[in-house]
Amino acid sequence: ADVEAGKAKAAVCAACHGQNGLAQIPTYPNLAGQNEQYLVSAIKAYKNKQRTGGQAAIMQGQAAALSDTDIANLAAYFASLPADGGK
């Protein structure tokens, strides 16, 4: 996976999940430092509409446009960020 490509693709994610992968909205998850394989699994579950409830409809829409390569790159990018936001 390509972390830099993931970073470029992640611009839209920052609105909810934060520039540093720490969500500013308490109903949204932090992504920084999350396990890469879990992130891939979660994004695909949204894309496949296997995750509903909560804010899932938003992520279903976001994930619909992502290719498997995009998903892999985004997961690698967020997994690479420090879990504490780099403090």
Q: Which is nearer to its own copies, 8 or 37 (CB)?
A: 37
Q: Answer yes or no: are the C-beta atoms of 16 and 87 closer than 8 Å.
A: no
Residues 6+ apart with CB under 8 A from 78: 6, 10, 13, 17, 21, 31, 32, 33, 34, 39
Q: Which is nearer to its own copies, 9 or 18 (CB)?
A: 18
Q: How far is the CB of 61 from its own copies (least distance, A)?
A: 16
Q: Which is nearer to its own copies, 8 or 38 (CB)?
A: 38
Q: How far is the CB of 46 from its own copies (least distance, A)?
A: 9
Q: How far is the CB of 7 from its own copies (least distance, A)?
A: 20
Question: What residues line the site for its own copies (CB under 8 A)?
Answer: 23, 26-30, 32-38, 41-42, 44-45, 48, 50-56, 82-85
